[in-house]
Structure 1
């Protein structure tokens, strides 16, 4: 008997999972543009000092991080006729669009204040869309294996959003056009993706609000109780390390592949596209591996292979695109599984806590794990840019760096990510919330939920209602 059947839950239809995943298109497009292209665009093309760019990203992350906890708590408390997470998806769209417009269409010579204000706006909108997506997914696919499958599909669709951004510098490089216009073009693309994706999700995805059981109210000190839970503490630390490693690498990716490995920006973007696009295969593959071996074991395998392959990049012959594509492909396969697995594991922990407390905590738990990702993002850009500046590396267009500075760039690029990714995998040693334990949790939840009057299922909205919502978002 399949596990889904044992739990009394049906497998989520593929087309429902596919349309639900549309939100990940703009979310991942923003992620890759922010991590790889936007910092370099401000430092190299808009004349903003490298240290100023790094500090602005760090300051915004420091301000933005506590907001996620409030957002997650608010989402869990929300109960409307329009849904719990659906309404937040609609709210986040225009906020993200405003941040994208002002950041990606910025004039030359903007100051730190401009960067901070619009980065805050962008991160707020992106946080709302991301949290509503993952928390909604946890309710949409309630059983252990189907969560791995759904998060694999979400990640694979997000890869297409990232690939659409990567295609822009590749296309311009083929045309021998200047790369100054790459980031503004990315901005217009993302600006259009947001309302289209949100309209599709709210139109086609059903939402069921889990019934409350008991009167447990969340208090401030309960944050600490959540964080120190053995299963969640391991997951938070693993998520932090698994985000910090690739984030560290992506922040200086273009510098490494252009100055150290001798590729043009367009060629480096092709390699990055290979790395990202393999997520279409890698994310479902790692999800299948988790169904065979359990999610925590799949994390350990992926992190170990990722580190070994990353080290091999230093041996790449300069400018050899075909050869470099091989390790980038396998590196992308491993990296694509990190978020798939940790986000699916967070949903399992949310079920464990709902069984104990009788209340939905998925939004709050995802807010905490998202905070760890943001901490990693703050350090990966702020710290690496500061280190590069400190060791004498010059990021300005046309700058000629010494062999010593390039060597320092290589060390910064490789050593940090390997250490953190391996630590992330090590956190999974001894993890106990496996498939068998989760099956028992779901059985108890299903039995208890049957005793309460369930909130109605909010089915797909009509095309007319979706059109009205889309007009409001725009």
Structure 2
């Protein structure tokens, strides 16, 4: 099997012609699956526990334990689905059967979770429904991400596909934030109706999105190598031995940790430090409104700088914006709004580039080993979206509490200053770490084009051998 050193490459090959790129309308159809997926996350964390506790009398401790088990199952099922989708060989492709079956389970789980029959609701019901819901979610999310990395193998083309995914994801998240806000103006405090509206949004968008995603593109030809069959420890060894994948994963963990610190503390900052309770939700919503514009902006920047450099610039820009929060004091609403808008315009810049880089890393791995593991690599990358928030919230909330901050009582000036500096500098530090982790990442545009040429040469050669 060919080997490759990531240095001293020739001038990169000419990028794919515009006529060779997937049409925008097809990409929108494919990426539309991101809308119901994104729309499910926030209500699951905010509205579901509140409703099942207040309306159905399940204790918060029991709900917390059930959600913990559900999240552990979710984490465990990601690599399982990733490996199995890589191994799948069918007339419909590798990814499509998983997404179709996952869509059915996800829709069923959403209907049962957001429209629960009162006579059946209890801890066992909630646990079983979450099991189905998370399984369907994983069966969509992992093959969907892997397929996105396979639609366009061009270095910038892959970033373009992922940009459509993340932009539609931002739109889905924005809509699911706006709907409950509007409902509060008509039926304030109606948690049951709010849950049903959000559940209806997920199901109504899921049905057309599922068909649009499945029919938008043909899957690429199945690999000409037999599917890899390895046990748990062998698979873990593959992951841990791939330094490129680990660096991308670690960087994204830092990115999502910084984002979760900001999300977890922004309401406390607005209410307790700024004294602006009316802006508590508005600032968060404002950030996501401008976040919809972030994907196309950073895609254009990526065309000029490349993924690694763009990710570094985006992360350092977010660090600078968060540091700017140090200079915000009570009453300075204008500066706070300006920084929130800037945060929205840089939102997801690192996530976007890092997600596109996973496909490049998977291709480099295939060249080195002869094995196709795109689904596995994206399943591992998805863990950062779960590990990062756990680290961010798990560190930030105990820290501000240790400094004496209590949202239920009047806090001393020192504890409010600690809240401010944690809110500002915690994300800044995380974004700086994310940039440092990929500072000298070797798989740049020139290196990837050499990988692509070597893979194409192997595929076209009748005497090509596999490892």
Q: Sort the TM-score into its range (normalised by shorter chain).
A: 0.7 to 0.9
> What CA distance in whole angstroms lies between the structure 1 residues aligned with 2:205 and 2:105?
14
The alpha-carbon distance between structure 1 residues 121 and 311, as it changes in their structure 2 partners (threshold 3 A), is: farther
Moved more, 177-186 or 384-393: 384-393
> What CA distance in whole angstroms lies between the structure 1 residues aligned with 2:106 and 2:299?
29
> What CA distance in whole angstroms lies between the structure 1 residues aligned with 2:133 and 2:329?
38
Q: Indicate whether 1:223 and 2:236 are aligned.
A: yes
- CA contact under 8 A between 1:61 and 1:378: conserved in structure 2? no
> What CA distance in whole angstroms lies between the structure 1 residues aligned with 2:361 and 2:398?
37
Among residues 320, 342, 347, which one is paired with 1:335 in the alignment?
347
SS at the partner of 1:30? helix
Among residues 80, 88, 96, which one is paired with 1:86 in the alignment?
96
Aligned to 1:296: 308
Map 1:136-151 onto structure 2 (within 5 A): 136-151=147-162
Q: Structure 2: 5+ residue runs without aligned partners?
A: 1-11
- CA contact under 8 A between 1:240 and 1:375: conserved in structure 2? yes
Among residues 286, 290, 307, which one is paired with 2:298 in the alignment?
286
Aligned to 1:355: 367
Moved more, 67-76 or 228-237: 228-237
Map 1:22-101 onto structure 2 (within 5 A): 22-34=32-44, 57-101=67-111
Q: Structure 1: 5+ residue runs without aligned partners?
A: 454-474
| RMSD (CA atoms) | 3.6
Moved more, 182-191 or 52-61: 52-61
Aligned to 2:253: 240
Shift of 1:349: 0.6
> What CA distance in whole angstroms lies between the structure 1 residues aligned with 2:41 and 2:54?
20
Aligned to 1:402: 411
> What CA distance in whole angstroms lies between the structure 2 residues aligned with 1:271 and 1:376?
22
The alpha-carbon distance between structure 1 residues 322 and 149, as it changes in their structure 2 partners (threshold 3 A), is: same
Q: Indicate whether 1:421 and 2:431 are aligned.
A: yes
The alpha-carbon distance between structure 1 residues 132 and 216, as it changes in their structure 2 partners (threshold 3 A), is: closer
> What CA distance in whole angstroms lies between the structure 2 residues aligned with 1:41 and 1:216?
44
Aligned to 2:212: 200
The alpha-carbon distance between structure 1 residues 214 and 198, as it changes in their structure 2 partners (threshold 3 A), is: closer
The alpha-carbon distance between structure 1 residues 128 and 254, as it changes in their structure 2 partners (threshold 3 A), is: farther
SS at the partner of 1:208? coil
Shift of 1:133: 1.4
The alpha-carbon distance between structure 1 residues 63 and 358, as it changes in their structure 2 partners (threshold 3 A), is: same
Shift of 1:82: 1.6
Among residues 149, 159, 165, which one is paired with 2:170 in the alignment?
159
> What CA distance in whole angstroms lies between the structure 1 residues aligned with 2:254 and 2:460?
39
Moved more, 302-311 or 8-17: 8-17
> What CA distance in whole angstroms lies between the structure 1 residues aligned with 2:401 and 2:108?
31
- TM-score, normalised on structure 2? 0.82
- CA contact under 8 A between 2:312 and 2:350: conserved in structure 1? no
SS at the partner of 1:207? coil
Shift of 1:439: 0.5
The alpha-carbon distance between structure 1 residues 256 and 92, as it changes in their structure 2 partners (threshold 3 A), is: farther
The alpha-carbon distance between structure 1 residues 114 and 330, as it changes in their structure 2 partners (threshold 3 A), is: farther
The alpha-carbon distance between structure 1 residues 251 and 34, as it changes in their structure 2 partners (threshold 3 A), is: farther
Q: Deviations over 1:305-355 (max 9, x none)?
A: 112212434655658766543212211222222221111000001111122
Shift of 1:228: 3.1
- CA contact under 8 A between 2:324 and 2:424: conserved in structure 1? no
> What CA distance in whole angstroms lies between the structure 2 residues aligned with 1:205 and 1:10?
14
Aligned to 1:128: 139
Q: Indicate whether 1:16 and 2:5 are aligned.
A: no
> What CA distance in whole angstroms lies between the structure 2 residues aligned with 1:306 and 1:43?
37
> What CA distance in whole angstroms lies between the structure 1 residues aligned with 2:130 and 2:33?
20
Q: Deviations over 1:410-444 (max 9, x none)?
A: 45544433332221111011100000111111112
- CA contact under 8 A between 2:87 and 2:228: conserved in structure 1? no
Among residues 195, 198, 209, which one is paired with 1:186 in the alignment?
198
Shift of 1:294: 1.7
Aligned to 1:275: 287
